[in-house]
Amino acid sequence: MADTKYYVRGQSDSSYESMTKEEILTAISGTVPALDSGFITIWKEQNAGVGIKLWVGTTAQYNALDPKPTNTLYIRTDDRSAQDIADAIQALNDALDALEASLAGYAPEDHAYSTTKYGAATSSNYGHVKLITNLTTAVSYPDGTAMRGDLAYFIGQRFSTIESVTADTGWKTLSVSGTGWSAGTNTPQYRKIGNHVYLRGDIVAGNSTPSVQPISAPYAPTKTSHVIWSTNSSAVFAPVTVGANATVINDDMNKYDGLTVHLDSDYFTD
């Protein structure tokens, strides 16, 4: 049985032989592979057993059709809908590429990095730092490195300990009180290095019990200490008690009256 022939009626009311329905469906399925296969399937199902016409023309010609015949596949030669979408997508991609290029070199929001790419801190500029986790290597650390907090605390504690042992007040003038007692030619002085207190200089003795400063913290000992002061008399030595409240000579004061007492001695505060 011969295939059924289909004809298309032109604008001059003349007829042109068309493809068969099967040829049209085959052509569509074969030349438009990008179409959704579901669309082709539905289109075939909806038009099974129905003659399909193929119309080709411009949008203006299509709009002028009145009425528009049914069972017709219309192809508008000047329809740019798909191309306009493709052009818009390409323009968007171009804009994104340009934006990415303009942001080149700027740091992202999360920009921790293994190098100094995003700017290292210096003594004059703010910037990123890499934490030092140990100090066992004798190296010169570059700009952009900082000590971790626990290490800084540890070193601070060590320095406090060292300072408590080595802190030096320098020599300070020692005051003397008591009837008849006064500073000698060599100014009486004291000095504290760590927890070690040194005394030097002379005082001229009176006939009363003297009180030699300093007697208060941080120069006074936490426990009573005993030292010996010499005098300008080879026969007289002064036994001295250095306590938390006073530094006194524990002896008959009359025998010291008028003598020069040498303070050269030392004691510990703890």
Q: Residues 141-155: what's their mean pLDDT?
A: 78
pLDDT one-digit tens code per residue, 104-139 = 767 777 777 777 777 788 778 878 888 877 776 667
pLDDT for the residue numbered 102: 78
Instruction: Choose between 9 and 58: higher pLDDT.
Output: 58
Instruction: Choose between 162 and 266: higher pLDDT.
Output: 266
pLDDT for the residue numbered 198: 92
pLDDT for the residue numbered 1: 45
Query: Can you give the pTM of this predicted structure?
Result: 0.45
Structural domains in the chain plus CATH codes: 6-81 (no CATH), 115-136+143-166 (no CATH), 172-268 (2.60.40.2460)
Tokens representing 11? 């604008």
Cα separation, 109 vs 230, whole angstroms: 76
pLDDT one-digit tens code per residue, 162-221 = 877 788 989 998 888 777 788 889 999 999 998 889 999 998 887 776 666 556 667 888
Among the residue ranges 13-17, 135-139, 225-229, the one predicted with the least confidence is 13-17
Q: Residues 43-51: what's their mean pLDDT?
A: 67
pLDDT one-digit tens code per residue, 55-107 = 888 888 888 888 888 777 777 777 666 677 677 778 888 887 887 777 776 77
The distance between the two most distant Cα atoms of the chain, rounded to a whole number of Å, is 158
Taking a C-beta distance cutoff of 8 angstroms, is the pair 257, 206 a contact?
A: yes
Q: How high does pLDDT run on average in the chain?
A: 75
Instruction: Choose between 268 and 49: higher pLDDT.
Output: 268
Q: Residues 4-8: what's their mean pLDDT?
A: 53
pLDDT for the residue numbered 33: 46
Instruction: Choose between 266 and 154: higher pLDDT.
Output: 266
Q: Residues 21-45: what's their mean pLDDT?
A: 57
